[in-house]
Structure 1
Amino acid sequence: MKNVDLIIPVYNEEEVIDLFHAKLTAAIKDLPYVFTIWYVNDGSQDATTQKLADLARTDARIQVVELSRNFGHQAALTAGLDRSHGDYAISLDGDGQHPPELIAELLKLAESGYDIIQTERLDAGGTSAFKRWTSTLFYRLINRIGSTHITPGAADFRLLSRQVVEAIRGMPEYHRFLRGMVAWVGYKSVILPYMPPPRMAGKSKYSLKKMVNLSMDAVFSFSLVPLYIGISLGLLMLLLALVEMIYVLSFWVTGNISNLAPGWSSLMFIILLVGGFLMISIGVIGVYIGYIFQEVKGRPVYLVREPAENDDKGSTAD
């Protein structure tokens, strides 16, 4: 039988982890595969750590990786992928909104020859109108300015073949946007739509700040358009300066110098406008330089406080 790694990042999920695991085990009970369940505890501050330890004592398939602190969802997923050795790796969240019942369908599509089965969330469920609107705007923006198409509504609920997992592990960038990285590697893929059920308990851990940071990672990792915008603004200001110069020279040519007003207000307007564009352009360049700075330091994406029992990655990984 083939081996399947289930990668489940968790953060402060004490209210739901027992119920989720029961639902997960019921979904994979009759499937003809050997499963390893990787729970990646992303620095939880509640009783999640103890509950995972209790589950591991009752289910030999469970491997728990304890990160040294909260590194974020993408880093936790990376920690799981780094430890995957199965024929397939399936990532899903531990709050129940990625229905484990779809695992059978994911594996069926994988057996038919697909290397990537990407799920697509059709309904926002109980999320707010603001979050739905910002999500739609984000996918429109990243697909317009980036060279890699990312499916709108794509979730981090997906199946990857062994070949794709190795390709992702060969991409060690610090600022990670796995949805874009998976789309970038190519390989034969298919979209599996699903209707998300409500959370089993608790609330979403993706705050507005985390969503903004993830969006920035996506934009600055997969597009150079912000730099081109700065160049375009600079060219526009040069064109306006040329027009202004021709306008002033026309007074000298026609001998109407007396009609040339001092123009203090217009001068200040141009100075402020040019200064604003320059600051925006320098800021964009600064963000890219900041990303480069964090990459060249070579710090690991995450650190492991307590490796799993069969963890061959040691205490750190990059």
Structure 2
Amino acid sequence: MGKQKLLSIITPVHNEAEGIKKFINDSLVPVAEKLDLNYELIIVNDGSTDNTLKIIQILANQNPKIKILSLSRNFGKEPALSAGLRYAKGDAALTIDADGQQPPKLIPDFIKKWNSGAEIITGVRSQYTKHGLIQKLGSKLFYKLLHIMGNKSTVPGSTDFRLIDRVVINEFNKLSEHNRITRGLIDWLGFKQEYIEYVYGVRAAGRPSYNIKKLFHLAIDSFVSMSTTPLVIFGYLGIFITVGSFILGLFCIINQYILGDPLQLYWNGSVQLAIFITFLIGLLMISESITALYISHIHAETQNRPLFVVDEKESRNLN
């Protein structure tokens, strides 16, 4: 009789005191207990400032399968997910949010596809429940731009609710960039991937840690870290403006000085100079902004700081 497989369930949390106990005890653990395999539940405390850490420590004392990976401060969801995958010991790992918007009842479906040979199983939002128009349009715009930027592998609506095989975990842990988007990097790795659609539910309790500002920064990091297309786009834009300015300048010279301004545009030298300078200044500012984004990422990588720091005193059951 072969050894029973181990599933690592990874849940990053930040200030989830209002709903974390109910989510773990009433939603996640009951589903995990019914699986035909062993499991470990890795709760990554991402620098919570409320009672989240105390609550999950009590849960870990009651259930040895619950492991707490407590980070020394708030590093963000992406490093928290990476920390969980670094400490995962399972034959596969499943990442799921603790806000109740991703249904744990679908975990057996992920396991079934994994047992059938899929190495990456990704949860895809088929529809939203009680979400505003701005969030829906923002999500569609994000994936559309990501596709334009050259990332053809990420399916629109895909989320961090996914299961990945041990071979994928090992390859993911080799990646070293600091400004990262986990789902994009996993898709970039390749491997056999399948999808499960689900309804993105309402938040069970509390307020989301991800606000518009953080989501915007995440989108920027995604575009810059996953593609060099922004540089190419603005390179083509520079060529377009340069050629357009040359044609416009040639037109002005012919109309004003050779034909004697038959169109009566009255473009004197100051107007022409102001137009050309405005075009060039705008192009220069845009180009420098994009270049600065890449330089900032290079700066972050060359600092060689750890992606996350674990507070071992507050962590539990890590062995």
Same fold (TM over 0.5): yes
Partner of 1:55: 59
Aligned pair 1:272/2:275, yes or no?
A: no
Alpha-carbon distance between aligned partners in 2 of 1:48 and 1:109, rounded to the nearest angstrom? 33
Aligned pair 1:297/2:300, yes or no?
A: no
The structure 1 residue matched to 2:177, chosen from 173, 178, 183, is 173
**Alignment map for 1:111-122 (pairs within 5 Å):** 111-122=115-126
- Superposition TM-score, scaled by structure 1 size: 0.92
- Deviation, 1:261, is 5.5
Aligned pair 1:151/2:187, yes or no?
A: no
- Deviation, 1:253, is 8.8
The structure 2 residue matched to 1:226, chosen from 226, 230, 234, is 230
Alpha-carbon distance between aligned partners in 2 of 1:156 and 1:122, rounded to the nearest angstrom? 14
Aligned pair 1:209/2:213, yes or no?
A: yes
- Superposition TM-score, scaled by structure 2 size: 0.92
Any idea what SS the aligned residue of 1:200 has?
A: coil
Q: After TM superposition, where is structure 1 displaced by more than 3 Å over at least 4 residues in a row?
A: 244-261, 307-312
- Deviation, 1:71, is 0.7
Any idea what SS the aligned residue of 2:282 has?
A: helix
Alpha-carbon distance between aligned partners in 2 of 1:67 and 1:206, rounded to the nearest angstrom? 18
- Counterpart code for 2:200: P
Deviates more, 1:135-144 or 1:225-234: 225-234
Check whether the contact 2:252–2:267 (CA below 8 A) recurs between aligned residues. no
Deviates more, 1:143-152 or 1:84-93: 143-152
Check whether the contact 1:7–1:77 (CA below 8 A) recurs between aligned residues. yes
Deviates more, 1:162-171 or 1:200-209: 200-209
- Counterpart code for 2:296: G
Check whether the contact 1:148–1:184 (CA below 8 A) recurs between aligned residues. no
Check whether the contact 2:60–2:317 (CA below 8 A) recurs between aligned residues. no
* Change beyond 3 A, Cα 1:250–1:125: same
Any idea what SS the aligned residue of 1:155 has?
A: strand
**Cα offsets for 1:183-218 (capped at 9, x unmatched):** 111101101001133222112221001100110111
**Cα offsets for 1:65-122 (capped at 9, x unmatched):** 1111111111110110000121010000111111111111111110000000000011
Partner of 1:18: 21
* Change beyond 3 A, Cα 1:252–1:210: closer
* Change beyond 3 A, Cα 1:93–1:253: closer
**Cα offsets for 1:293-315 (capped at 9, x unmatched):** 11111111111123644547xxx
* Change beyond 3 A, Cα 1:31–1:215: same
Aligned pair 1:282/2:302, yes or no?
A: no
Structure 1, unpaired ranges of 5+? 313-318
**Alignment map for 1:23-34 (pairs within 5 Å):** 23-34=27-38
- Deviation, 1:41, is 0.3
Partner of 1:130: 134
Partner of 1:306: 312
- Counterpart code for 2:222: A
Check whether the contact 1:148–1:183 (CA below 8 A) recurs between aligned residues. no
Alpha-carbon distance between aligned partners in 2 of 1:69 and 1:8, rounded to the nearest angstrom? 16
* Change beyond 3 A, Cα 1:237–1:144: closer
- C-alpha RMSD of matched pairs (Å): 2.1
- Deviation, 1:248, is 5.5
- Counterpart code for 1:301: L
